[in-house]
Structure 1
């Protein structure tokens, strides 16, 4: 019998969120292919979201949201939904940039916590 592997699903990393859509906003993803749970930064000049990049100096170095569903922006901007406030997420299911340090993760989690996006 073959082994089937299920990929991540939209919001499967969410423990709780506010009623209705209060925790979520429509966002624009600028570039890249991203999984649900990807920690995002927001580029100050464009207000678009990209994967968190602690080495950037564009705004992308500051954690601002967590992506709800898959997003593929390889061919240009794509609309998506991000958790931007008032939610609890599973820390072990967040998607981080390769090679991110524990210190940068801690800073990103602290930044998300200021918007009441709490990793448990």
Structure 2
């Protein structure tokens, strides 16, 4: 019997969000050299979302959003839905979560459970 491993599904990290998709926005994801899973914490560099990097010094060190659905490797920018406010999320389903990121999410109105 073959065992298949499924990646994180769209919005699997989300416990609840504000009515009418108020928690989400459409943004631009920067060029990605690696695929990003749903639940990836994101920072902002030059008005584009990038994977959160706590060691960065370019804006990627501050969490500004959570990627709503997986994004493939891309040689060009791509549109992306992101959670930016008023939501509850599952800590184990977030990629890149650390103590500083949890505090930054709370400041956005995103509660980590």
Distance in 2 of aligned mates of 1:58 and 1:7 = 29
Deviation at 1:21, TM superposition (A): 1.1
Secondary structure of the corresponding residue to residue 7 of structure 1: coil
Q: In the alignment, which residue of structure 2 is the partner of 1:52?
A: 52
Q: Which runs of 5+ in 2 are unaligned?
A: none
Measured against aligned partners, the alpha-carbon deviations of 1:62-109 in whole angstroms (never above 9, x if no partner) come to: 01111010112521101010000000000011011xxxxxxx811111
Secondary structure of the corresponding residue to residue 19 of structure 2: coil
Measured against aligned partners, the alpha-carbon deviations of 1:16-68 in whole angstroms (never above 9, x if no partner) come to: 0001110000011102220000000011xx21000011121111110111101
Alignment map for 1:31-110 (pairs within 5 Å): 31-32=31-32, 33-43=35-45, 46-96=46-96, 105-110=98-103
Q: Is the 8 A contact 1:30 1:73 kept in 2?
A: no
Q: In the alignment, which residue of structure 2 is the partner of 1:101?
A: none
Q: In the alignment, which residue of structure 1 is the partner of 2:105?
A: 112
TM-score using structure 2 length: 0.92
Measured against aligned partners, the alpha-carbon deviations of 1:3-23 in whole angstroms (never above 9, x if no partner) come to: 222221100110000011100
Q: Which moved more, 1:68-77 or 1:46-55?
A: 68-77
Q: In the alignment, which residue of structure 2 is the partner of 1:100?
A: none
TM-score using structure 1 length: 0.87
Secondary structure of the corresponding residue to residue 57 of structure 2: coil
Alignment map for 1:5-44 (pairs within 5 Å): 5-32=5-32, 33-43=35-45
